[in-house]
Amino acid sequence: MKFFVDTAEIDAIAELNDLGMVDGVTTNPSLIKKSGRDIIEVTKEICAMVSGPVSAEVTATDAETMIAEGRKLVEIAENIAVKVPLTWDGLKACKTLSDDGHMVNVTLCFSANQALIAAKAGATFISPFIGRLDDINLDGMELIEDIRTIYDNYGFNTEILAASIRTVNHVLDSARIGADVITAPPAVIKSLANHPLTDKGLATFLDDIKAADIKIL
């Protein structure tokens, strides 16, 4: 499974990238706003740091302007994936940009039917939002399962990019089902290393090291 980090914070990306934990990055207008940086400037810096796909989202809602914005965004770097919303205009933009040879991440997916038509439109990635479905008492993992089944049935090349990841269980369940990619905030990715029994065992070892006055250096 590939790990994308969902942030526009350069320091957070760099820390995870140094550990080999970053296969790509996803951004959106909210994350760009949080970073306080210019979208072109910060996206260029991220693309220079990360070799994998970097999703940069359009701001328009009509197909013609989305296509124009997408073409501007891909000039930033070769690893840009243009992020478009799963609307009819977004699908039109997806088809045009993918036909041009650009990576496209179709976002805000909440149904398997949406994922099906995004794949038909040539999406490189489909981003089903797990956490937001959970927020309205629907099982986001059932959506990942349905998309996996449909894509496998027909051999679609579109990669399932599980998004709106809130917990480590979301990551685990996505991996079990077979999502190709997860995108998560840095804190969630780092928390994958945590376990209370690891903490308890380490505390015991440290007590024994102190008691035995063990030194290596």
Residue 95 catalytic?
Answer: no
Q: 65 to each of 30, 79, 115, 204, 212, how far by Cα in Å?
A: 20, 21, 23, 60, 69
User: Cα–Cα distance between 217 and 215 in angstroms, integer?
Assistant: 6
Question: What tokens does 145 get?
Answer: 């399962």
| CA atoms of 25 and 46, how far apart (whole Å) | 8
Q: Catalytic: which of 83, 120, 210, 215?
A: 83
- Joined together, the tokens standing for residue 65 give 């302007």
CA–CA distance, 63 with 54 (Å, rounded to integer): 21
Q: Which residues are catalytic?
A: 83
